[in-house]
């Protein structure tokens, strides 16, 4: 009996270790400065999480070749003004090659000589509650790797022109880049928020949008288009002539002009639209109304809503101010009935009759008593 009990206890101990040890190995490791950050990345197990305890300044690029999560815990990593690295890669965080999967979460990246983060040649970078600003070349580089956006805010990155997310393929890269939208992308600039590089090496790339994403990156004709949740265009850039795009759908852009304001909307290629759809994308004050939609600015050719849209199209909305008429004041009707005084005479007569009746009754009662 004792042997059986010992065996059961031994088995339970082994089972407990099997459950506890993996949790211990995957527990977060806290770092406080650049030195401990680098050494912890170097020694971390595959799939580990590293958590910042305070803001950190880094002086050289950080390269990651394993699966790793860096949780900023709300803190900021800043590129030092005394950046010391002279290597070709000057990006703050690089995940490189197919075994690498870097998740950045709840973190701010600020200032650097090239990019904030890049996925290189088959590596994957996931950006979840990340803010990137102040990098000279751009915010994010999908360099033959995969970038997934869950929650990303881009400040101004680049010199001269903004460069938010750049899709590219280096000369030595063997994989084609992929951008997946799976959440929210916001940007302080509407210029080049998502851009395909024109260096000749990028010949093919893929754009994907999940069902749960708020923003979308779409291909519309020869453009890469970033939209908001209502498919209004936030930013658009040209697809390089030598690049082929793999996309989950093909789209066209409607340029809607109303009251001197222009709004661009993305719709699926080959779809028809309705007047209600266009009106929902026009902001008018209550004293204006839409009288019709036309294909020319002089409002002479009506737009045909029965035809499918298969190319970029400009539509003009004719609006007019609604003249609100003030209601006429209500004048009470004048009583034209002649006043004869009959009503007054009738009232007097009734009063006299009542008083007379009362007097007669009183007199008769008095006579009876006598």
pLDDT digits (tens, 9 = 90+) for 208-240: 999 999 999 999 999 999 999 999 999 999 999
Is 144 part of any domain?
A: yes
Q: Whole-angstrom Cα distance, residue 197 to residue 220? A: 17
Mean pLDDT along residues 321-340? 65
Mean pLDDT of 353-370: 54
- Say if 363 falls within a structural domain: no
Q: How many whole angstroms separate alpha carbon 8 and alpha carbon 355? A: 117
145 and 47 in a common domain: yes
Sign of the Cα pseudo-torsion (239, 206, 308, 227, in order): negative
Write down the pTM of the prediction: 0.79
Residue 356 lies in a domain: no
Residues 216 and 314 occupy one common structural domain: no
- Residue 334: pLDDT band by 50, 70, 90 thresholds? low
Q: What is the average pLDDT across 183-201? A: 95
Is residue 147 classed as helix, strand or coil in its secondary structure?
strand
> Are residues 171 and 304 part of one domain?
no
How far is C-alpha 319 from the chain's CA centre? 30
Same domain, 133 and 222: yes
User: Do 30 and 164 lie in a common domain?
Assistant: yes
Query: Does residue 125 sit in the same domain as residue 260?
Result: no
Contact assessment for residue 151 and residue 128, using Cβ atoms and an 8 Å cutoff: yes
- For residues 126 and 155, membership in a common domain is answered with yes
Q: In terms of pLDDT, which residue wins out, 30 or 4?
A: 30
pLDDT of residue 286: 76
Check pLDDT > 90 for residue 196.
yes
Please state which of the ranges 163-177, 258-272, 345-359 shows the lowest mean pLDDT.
345-359
Task: Judge whether 195 and 166 are in contact, CB under 8 Å.
Answer: yes
Among 17-31, 117-131, 304-318, the range scoring the smallest mean pLDDT is 17-31
User: Is residue 133 located within the same domain as residue 163?
Assistant: yes
Is residue 72's pLDDT more than 60? yes
Residue 8 clears pLDDT 80, i.e. is over it: no
Query: Stretch 293-304: mean pLDDT, rounded?
Result: 96
Whether the Cβ atoms of residue 68 and residue 94 lie closer than 8 Å to each other? no
pLDDT over 80 (residue 23): no
What pLDDT sits at residue 350? 52
The residue out of 213, 232, 248 marking a domain boundary is: 248
Task: Assess if residue 7 is contained within a domain.
Answer: no
Q: Which of 213, 248, 283 is the last residue of a domain?
A: 248
Do the domain assignments include residue 198? Answer: yes
The predicted-structure confidence for 167-191, as pLDDT tens digits, reads as follows 999 999 999 999 999 999 999 999 9
Do 244 and 265 fall into the same domain? no
- Residue 261: count other Cβ atoms within 10 Å of its Cβ: 11
Co-location of 258 and 156 in the same domain? no
pLDDT > 90: what percent of the chain?
73
Q: What residues make up the domain containing 179?
A: 16-248
In the chain, % of residues over pLDDT 70? 80
Domain end residue (candidates: 217, 233, 248): 248
Residues 241 and 269 in one domain: no
Band of residue 18 on the pLDDT scale cut at 50, 70, 90:
very low
Among 33-47, 195-209, 277-291, the range scoring the smallest mean pLDDT is: 277-291
Structural domain count, the chain? 2
Rounded CA gap, 207 and 172, in Å?
22
- Among 89-103, 140-154, 246-260, name the one with the lowest average pLDDT: 246-260
Among the listed residues 212, 153, 204, 154, the one whose alpha carbon sits nearest the alpha carbon of residue 179: 204
């Amino acid at each position: 009996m004792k042997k059986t009990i010992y065996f059961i206890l031994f088995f339970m101990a082994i089972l407990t270790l099997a459950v506890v040890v993996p949790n211990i190995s995957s527990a977060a490791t806290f770092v406080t400065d650049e030195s401990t950050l680098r050494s912890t990345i170097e020694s971390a197990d595959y799939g580990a999480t590293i958590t910042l305890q305070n803001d950190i300044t880094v002086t050289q690029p950080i390269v990651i070749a394993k699966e790793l999560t860096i949780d900023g815990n709300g803190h900021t990593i800043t590129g030092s003004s005394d950046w010391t690295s002279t290597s070709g890669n000057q990006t703050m965080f690089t995940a490189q090659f197919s075994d690498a999967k870097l998740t950045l979460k709840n973190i701010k990246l600020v200032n650097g000589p090239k990019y904030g983060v890049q996925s290189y040649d088959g590596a994957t970078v996931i950006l979840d509650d990340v803010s990137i600003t102040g990098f000279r070349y751009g915010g994010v580089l999908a360099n033959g790797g995969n970038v997934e956006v869950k929650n990303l805010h881009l400040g101004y990155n680049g010199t001269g022109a903004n460069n938010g997310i750049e899709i590219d393929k280096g000369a030595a890269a063997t994989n084609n880049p992929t951008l997946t939208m799976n959440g929210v992308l916001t940007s302080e600039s509407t210029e080049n928020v998502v851009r395909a590089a024109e260096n000749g090496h990028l010949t093919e790339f893929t754009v994907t949008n999940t069902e749960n994403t708020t923003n979308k990156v779409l291909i519309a004709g020869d453009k890469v288009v970033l939209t908001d949740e209502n498919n209004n265009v936030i930013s658009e850039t040209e697809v390089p002539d030598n690049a082929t795009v793999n996309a989950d759908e093909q789209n066209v852009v409607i340029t809607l002009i109303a009251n001197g304001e222009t709004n661009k909307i993305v719709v699926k290629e080959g779809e028809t639209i309705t007047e209600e759809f266009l009106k929902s994308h026009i902001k008018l004050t209550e004293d204006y109304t839409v009288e019709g939609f036309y294909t020319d600015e002089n409002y002479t050719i009506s737009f045909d809503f029965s035809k499918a849209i298969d190319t970029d199209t400009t539509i003009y909305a004719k609006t007019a101010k609604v003249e609100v008429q003030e209601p006429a004041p209500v004048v009470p009707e004048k009583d034209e009935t002649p006043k004869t005084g009959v009503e007054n005479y009738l009232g007097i007569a009734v009063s006299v009759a009542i008083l007379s009746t009362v007097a007669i009754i009183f007199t008769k009662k008095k006579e009876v008593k006598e």
